[in-house]
Structure 1
Amino acid sequence: MAALVPVVDPSALPRGPVRITLYSWVVFALSFGLLISDYMARQVLNAVFPLLKAEWALSDTQLGWLSGVVALMVGLLTFPLSLAADRWGRVRSLAVMAAMWSLATLLCAAAANYGQMLIGRLMVGVGEAAYGSVGIAVVISVFPSRLRATLSAAFMAGGLFGQVLGVAVGGEISASHGWRVAFLVIGLSGLALALGYALIVRERLIASIAGPAAAPAGRGSLSLRALFAGRCVKQVYVASGVQLFVAGALPAWLPSYFNRYYDLPVNAASRLAALLLLACGCGMILCGMASDRLTMTRPDSKFRLAIAYSLGSATALTLALLLPAGPAQIALLAVAMFLVAGTTGPAGAMVANLTPLAIHGTAFATLTLAHNLLGLAPGPIVTGWLADAIGLHDAFRVLPFASVLAAWMFFRARRTYSADLAALETGRVPG
């Protein structure tokens, strides 16, 4: 999902160049293109679940692992690979990352069995693990500071476009030419972009435009105690991750759901799922905007909105699954998808408010870690396991419980928010 791209806090970075150059836009375009390739490589699998299940006689648990292992690797490796990129060179690292996930996607195309496909998907996750945090750092460094918020939002949108295209394009190609060709096309296009990035984007040119902004920021000021100081921020990390359990499960399994319960062919099921993914991305952005606008005078209202988004998604999904297949159910599923990732904006703002400015980049990476390990990785896996036991429809009926749990945790976190904020404002670390 787009909300899950680790974003460097714009205000925590040094001042950038004073003007925009043509090369700045070239860097943005290539980085944006690679981000789309990143999410297409991640999401194409979900479009071909029905074909893999039939060809290799896979269980839903096995299918869930193929999806969840990518998020698991992203969660585990974001920190170490981001640190390695800072030492080795961000531009060089980004080209290597893109080549790795593209080659891994080609390995998926050539997989002869489930074990080979699982290894390929694991390597996709390794390649993608640090792209979001390192890529946005490179993009921001070559633009003036006044555009950092806009660029961060645009970069996040690339993840959304990649998810939609991965499901839609993957479904269309696999329906007409087979699932291997879908992986092949996306892998080759990613390799072409990686080669173009390596040839055109140069560390030396980045440094000449960015000046001091090209250097990594805030590494020496990392304080693990500050990252987890106070009860509130720890609960926000966990609550946001738990809510994304649902946001990870639904995109992975909706194409299969429409294939099984609506009797739609793979391409039609993928198109319908892609539309709901688009609703999810729009909801993420609009819910975040609503959070900023409605909480200007009452910062703690972000908790009320996060609770409302969690309970709203749970209610819409519960009602949808009480209805038979048809337009009314699809409409309620669209409402659920619109709200399911709406908590990412308020949660990000809470974490920013509850951690010192100097470590905001690391705080967002910590939030991303929680998103992947608590939500995006286990969501598809557990849903697949439940689908084997009770059927996919009934497995979906369990998902609202995660949203209710997330709402309860946001409610508990709100009780210490003001006290923890006050401690930070007076220079103390919350207890």
Structure 2
Amino acid sequence: MVDDDVGRESDDASRERAADTDAVDAVTPSSYLLVVLGAGSYLLLMANWFALAAFLDPIADGLGLSDTQSGALVGAVPLTYVPLSLLSGLVLDRIGARRGIAISVGIFGVAQLLRSATGDFAGMLATTVLFAVGATGITFGLPKLVASIFPSRLLGTMSTVYILGSYAGTAAAYSVGRAILGPALGGWRPTFRALGAAALAFLAVWVPVALWHGRRHGTPYGGDGESAFSLASLRTDVARVFSHRVMRLLVVVGTAYLLLGHSLQGWLPTLAGSRGVSPEVAATVATLFVVGQAVGTVVVPPVSDRLGRRRDGVVACGLAAVAGVVALAFVGDAVGAGAAALVAGSGVGGVSPLVRAIPTEIEDIGPALTATAVSLIFAVGELGGFFGPFLVGGLRDLTGSFLPGLAVLAVGALAMVAAGLRLPEI
């Protein structure tokens, strides 16, 4: 009888502790709304970003650009991330995500308007670099926003929300910007103006909602600290992030992720075309890679949240990427290439939210240094994003085959697996 009473008391205590945890982890509906709006900022960013690639041919003709100059413009934004990312993250950790996102949208919206009016390569390059300044604030501000207003059990799921916004924006640049707005408005200049104006109009929604949410709910999980812009404070934050072993492993994962993502997205149509398929089928193969990314983004982070297994999620994504890249090296038909692209995309897409969510859960990093931590991953990782496509193309020039380049990508995917296996369960 005594044992039954003890058991009942133990059950009651467990239920009380669970209730207390649920109360602490309660999330207001407006926080979900804010992240959905944040996804809208990412959609607008990517629609404006990839409008350049979508209209590259008429822009090059209109401005008299060489192929080298066109390539420099396409690569200018990711390359700007390398020197700028860490500074952007440090600033965001001090001014807060809500304010940082607003400033960033304003910067890239104005930059897009300026790009619509440029008349030569120098002007387009300068305004594209300015655009990149705003882009970094969205890339690192959204992980910080989620870390500040959501408990760790929801970080992966909520990261999925804004990353899906980025995929929608990339698709919109081609399907809406190039295919609809371009013909309707009369070319790339008015389309750029319309996209830039849409970004600035978004601020009329974001600013009042973010201000209201900030006053009413603050940052329940931390993140908007009182760190000053002093050199000592900046140096301390950088040292904390750089010296952490888990962060070094995540830098490897992030570099592999960007290496694979940029390389496959850029070269898949050409790779598929080299197998003798039509341009339409080659475009479908490339589209299946994007579909795979969306599937991985939707599936992997929520499962990781539910199981509490971040490490297993990273390893599984790395293995999927390895399998997809190896299959691309050996399949000879469109169906096989499409299936391989789908598998590789699921690995790349699945790990994308994880590299943004995991830093928040690391001891000594947390919400307060989330932007700095994610910016470190991208500062180094974008080197992989830049050199990956370069190596695939360069090795093909040297050998006449995509196999050496795919071997490089497979090694990158294996590095993701190896780093993932060494991650502790957080």
Same fold (TM over 0.5): yes
Instruction: Check whether the contact 2:365–2:373 (CA below 8 A) recurs between aligned residues.
Output: no
Give the CA deviation at 1:172: 0.8
Distance 1:88 1:300 in 2: 31
Distance 1:294 1:304 in 2: 14
1:317 aligns with 2:332: no
Give the CA deviation at 1:122: 1.2
SS in 2 for 1:130: helix
Alignment of 1:185-264 (within 5 A): 185-198=194-207, 200-201=208-209, 203=211, 206-210=214-218, 216-217=224-225, 222=237, 224=239, 227-230=242-245, 234-252=248-266
Give the CA deviation at 1:54: 5.2
1:36 aligns with 2:51: no
**Number of the residue aligned with 1:10:** none
Amino acid at match of 1:228: S
Distance 1:369 1:208 in 2: 34
Instruction: Check whether the contact 1:68–1:376 (CA below 8 A) recurs between aligned residues.
Output: no
Give the CA deviation at 1:179: 3.0
Gaps of 5+ in 1: 1-14, 426-431
Instruction: Check whether the contact 1:244–1:371 (CA below 8 A) recurs between aligned residues.
Output: yes
Give the CA deviation at 1:214: 6.9
Give the CA deviation at 1:49: 3.3
Give the CA deviation at 1:89: 5.8
Distance 1:114 1:304 in 2: 43
Instruction: Check whether the contact 2:272–2:337 (CA below 8 A) recurs between aligned residues.
Output: no
Q: 1:164 to 1:390 in 2, by over 3 A?
A: farther
Q: For 1:400, which of 383, 406, 423 is the aligned residue? A: 406
Distance 1:59 1:212 in 2: 52
SS in 2 for 1:216: coil
1:104 aligns with 2:104: no
Alignment TM-score, normalising by the size of structure 1: 0.71
Give the CA deviation at 1:32: 2.7
SS in 1 for 2:224: coil
Give the CA deviation at 1:163: 1.9
Distance 2:351 2:115 in 1: 33
SS in 1 for 2:50: helix
Give the CA deviation at 1:125: 0.7
Alignment of 1:41-56 (within 5 A): 41-53=48-60
Instruction: Check whether the contact 2:261–2:348 (CA below 8 A) recurs between aligned residues.
Output: yes
Give the CA deviation at 1:131: 1.9
Instruction: Check whether the contact 1:53–1:63 (CA below 8 A) recurs between aligned residues.
Output: yes
Aligned residue pairs, count: 392
**Number of the residue aligned with 2:87:** 80
Q: 1:369 to 1:188 in 2, by over 3 A?
A: same
**Number of the residue aligned with 1:337:** 345
Q: 1:19 to 1:330 in 2, by over 3 A?
A: closer
Q: 1:29 to 1:309 in 2, by over 3 A?
A: closer
**Number of the residue aligned with 1:117:** 124
Distance 2:269 2:176 in 1: 13
Alignment of 1:406-421 (within 5 A): 406-410=412-416, 413=419, 417=422, 421=424
SS in 2 for 1:279: helix
Instruction: Check whether the contact 1:61–1:382 (CA below 8 A) recurs between aligned residues.
Output: no
1:62-85 deviation digits (Å, cap 9, x = unpaired) = 333323221222343333234334
Give the CA deviation at 1:136: 4.6
Amino acid at match of 1:308: L
**Highest Rg: 1 or 2?**
2
**Number of the residue aligned with 2:192:** 183
Give the CA deviation at 1:158: 1.7
Q: For 1:130, which of 132, 137, 145 is the aligned residue? A: 137
Distance 2:44 2:78 in 1: 16
Amino acid at match of 1:118: L
Amino acid at match of 2:56: F
> % of aligned pairs identical?
22
Distance 1:403 1:194 in 2: 39
Distance 1:142 1:314 in 2: 37
**Number of the residue aligned with 1:368:** 378
Distance 1:105 1:47 in 2: 14
Amino acid at match of 1:400: L
Alignment TM-score, normalising by the size of structure 2: 0.72
Gaps of 5+ in 2: 1-22, 228-232
Amino acid at match of 1:224: A
SS in 1 for 2:119: coil
SS in 2 for 1:106: helix
Distance 2:330 2:59 in 1: 30
Amino acid at match of 2:409: S
**RMSD (CA atoms):** 4.4
Q: 1:351 to 1:193 in 2, by over 3 A?
A: closer
